[in-house]
Amino acid sequence: MSDETLLSLAGVRRSFDSGRIVALDGVDLSIRSGESVALVGRSGSGKSCLVAIATGLDRPDSGAVFWQGRAISSRREWAALRRKSIGIVFQEFHLLPTLSAQQNVELALMGGRTGQAEQRRAAAAALERVGLAHRRDNLPSEMSGGERQRVAIARALVRDPLILFADEPTGNLDSANAEKVAALLLDLQRERGVSLVMVTHDAELAERCQRIVRLSDGRIVEDCRVRGDAA
Ligand SMILES: Nc1ncnc2c1ncn2[C@@H]1O[C@H](COP(=O)(O)OP(=O)(O)OP(=O)(O)O)[C@@H](O)[C@H]1O
Ligand SMILES: [Mg+2]
């Protein structure tokens, strides 16, 4: 892990219903290159809102998000960042049902500069990394929840992001599959030096990250280091 700050939020506020619901209430948070961060807090505390704003899928009412020190605001800048540098994994997988695992992963590379043969190769390599080389031609409906989530991780991974956000990636999985997915995400963080920001309700899983950030009523109420660089 380096000291370089990749992504930071400064004074981020987000409300709904003309201000009646305050989801984020002045959040300051910096994510360093290569670190693993668990984002925890009760249901409704603002975790998903924070992920949406940190990935540019939603905009704050006030405050700003910085990427490597530069404020990001336009739709175009955000799209470019999500294409190149930011991967996102959701609880519900969000795979396209009519496409095979291989095609779902390839789709993440379309529209970029990668040629078709290279897209195919990169998608196959990403699926192999998540242990699904043998399931490349299967549809999501033919796979278990854990396998689907691993396809979604391969899809996030295939563009070689610098930071990976995962919003309750194990929330829909049984304990055996949850463990596989959690171990995979933490391995990827270590082996590729990618930053991992993982929302979780699982205290044990949170303890396996290097840092725990706790939200309560839209504010950060705790930010502690669990373990050092040796993690
Ligand atoms: N589109 C929306 N319209 C109105 N209120 C919203 C909207 N999105 C989120 N909220 C509210 O903002 C607050 C924070 O929601 P958020 O989804 O970030 O919580 P969370 O911490 O992710 O909860 P969970 O653990 O249940 O996923 C909640 O009170 C929620 O009801
Ligand atoms: Mg949520």
The CA distances from residue 137 to 83, 86, 100, 118, 134, in Å, are 24, 26, 5, 18, 8
Ligand 1 proximity of 123 Cβ (cutoff 6 Å): no
Q: At what angle do helices 175-192 and 145-157 cross, to 10 degrees?
A: 20
All domains of the chain in start order, with CATH: 35-46+79-225 (3.40.50.300)
Task: Supply 9's token pair.
Answer: 């939020």
Could you tell me the pTM of the whole model? Answer: 0.94
Provide the residue type at 202 as one letter. D
Q: Which ligand is nearest to the CA of 16?
A: 1
What's the angle, vertex CA 91, arms to CA 90 and CA 94, rounded to 5? 55
Nearest-Å Rg of the Cα atoms of the chain is 17
* Kind plus residue range of the DSSP H or E element containing 6: strand 5-16
Residue with tokens 């055996």: 176
How does pLDDT run along the chain (231 residues), one tens digit per residue?
567 999 999 999 999 999 999 999 999 999 999 999 999 999 999 999 999 999 999 999 999 999 999 999 899 999 999 999 999 999 989 999 999 999 999 999 987 778 999 999 999 999 999 999 999 999 999 999 999 999 999 999 999 999 999 999 999 999 999 999 999 999 999 999 999 999 999 999 999 999 999 999 999 999 999 975 544
Could you say which DSSP state residue 140 is in? Answer: G
Residue closest to 8 by CA, chosen among 46, 52, 59, 65? 65
Q: Would you state the pLDDT for residue 18?
A: 94
Give CA–CA dist 27/65, Å, rounded. Answer: 10
Residue closest to 185 by CA, chosen among 172, 198, 174? 198
Q: Would you state the pLDDT for residue 89?
A: 95
Q: Whose CA is nearest to atom 26 of ligand 1?
A: 43
The CA distances from residue 108 to 15, 76, 88, 102, in Å, are 31, 17, 11, 10
Q: Whose CA is nearest to atom 2 of ligand 1?
A: 16
| Distance between Cα 158 and ligand 2 center (Å) | 25
Ligand 1 proximity of 43 Cβ (cutoff 6 Å): yes
Ligand 1 proximity of 44 Cβ (cutoff 6 Å): yes
Q: Which ligand is nearest to the CA of 21?
A: 1
Q: Would you state the pLDDT for residue 231?
A: 44
